Amino acid sequence: MLKIGIACYPTLGGSGVVATELGKLMAEQGHEVHFITDRMPFRLGSFHANIFYHEVEVSDYYVFRYPPYDLALANKLAQVAKQQQLDILHVHYAVPHAICAYLAKQMVGPQLKVVTTLHGTDITILGHDPSLRDLIRLAIHQSDAVTAVSQDLIDETYATLQIEKPIELVYNFVDGRDYIAPANPTLRQQYAQPHEKILLHMSNFRPVKRVPDVVDIFARVNEQVPARLLFVGEGPDLAKAVAQVKQLGLADKVHYLGKQNNVAEVIGLADLLLLPSDKESFGLVALEAMAGGMPTVGSDSGGIPEVIRHGIDGFLAPVGDTERMAAYAVLLLQNRELYDAFSLAGLQRARSHFSAAVIAGQYERIYARVARGERSERSAAALPSH
pLDDT, one tens digit per residue, over 40-59 is 887 787 778 899 999 999 98
**pLDDT-based confidence at 382, cuts 50/70/90?**
very low
Domain extent at residue 293:
176-352
**Residue 187 counted as domain residue:** yes
Residue 13 has pLDDT above 80, yes or no: no
Percent of the chain with pLDDT over 70: 96
44 with 141, same domain: the answer is: yes
The per-residue pLDDT for 377 is 56
Q: Assess whether 156 and 279 both reside in one domain.
A: no
Task: Please report which confidence band the pLDDT of residue 187 belongs to, taking 50, 70 and 90 as the band edges.
Answer: confident
What single-letter amino acid sits at 149?
V
Task: Give pLDDT, residue 100.
Answer: 96
Collapse the DSSP code of 22 into the 3-class scheme (helix H, G, I; strand E, B; otherwise coil) and give the result.
helix
**Rounded Cα–Cα distance for residues 272 and 197 (Å):** 8
**Residues 182 and 140 grouped into a single domain:** no
Q: Taking the alpha carbons of 108, 374, 147, 386 in that order, is the dihedral positive or negative?
A: positive
CA quadruple 155, 143, 376, 285: dihedral positive or negative?
negative
Q: Which of 77, 69, 2, 16 is nearest to 44 (CA)?
A: 16
Both 135 and 16 in one domain: the answer is yes
Rounded distance, CA 127 to CA 174, Å?
27
Supply the pLDDT for residue 184.
79
**334: how many CB neighbours lie within 10 A of its CB?**
12
Q: Could you tell me if 157 and 287 lie in one domain?
A: no
φ/ψ of 130, rounded to 5, equals: -60, -25
Burial class, 112, CB count within 10 angstroms (exposed 0-12 / middle 13-18 / buried 19+): buried
DSSP state of 98: I
Please compute the mean of the pLDDT values over residues 180-191 and round it to a whole number: 82
Please check whether residue 386 lies inside any domain of the structure: no
Same domain, yes or no, for 281 and 323?
yes
pLDDT at residue number 305: 97
pLDDT of residue 242 exceeding 60: yes
145 phi/psi in degrees, rounded to 5:
-155, 145
> Based on the domain organization, do 117 and 225 belong to the same domain?
no
* Residues 282, 284: Cα–Cα separation, whole Å: 6
- Is the pLDDT reported for residue 27 higher than 60? yes
Q: For the chain, what is the largest distance between any 2 Cα atoms, rounded to a whole number of angstroms?
A: 66
Burial class (CB in 10 A: 0-12, 13-18, 19+), 255: middle
Model-wide pTM > 0.85: yes
The mean pLDDT value of the chain amounts to 92
Mean pLDDT of 66-79: 93
Domain membership of residue 385 (yes or no) is: no
Q: Write the CATH number for 299.
A: 3.40.50.2000
Q: What are phi and psi of 179, to 5 degrees?
A: -115, 20
Q: What is the pLDDT of residues 321-380, one digit of tens each?
A: 999 999 999 999 999 999 999 999 999 999 999 999 999 999 999 999 999 988 765 543
Residue 158 belongs to some domain of the structure: yes
Mean pLDDT, residues 181-203 taken together: 90
Total domain count, the chain: 2
Mean pLDDT of 236-242: 96
What are the Cα distances from residue 245, in Å, to 6, 238, 277? 41, 11, 19
Q: Is 161 found in the same domain as 39?
A: yes
In the prediction, which pLDDT does 12 show? 60
**Same domain, yes or no, for 49 and 108?**
yes
| For residues 106-135, average pLDDT | 92
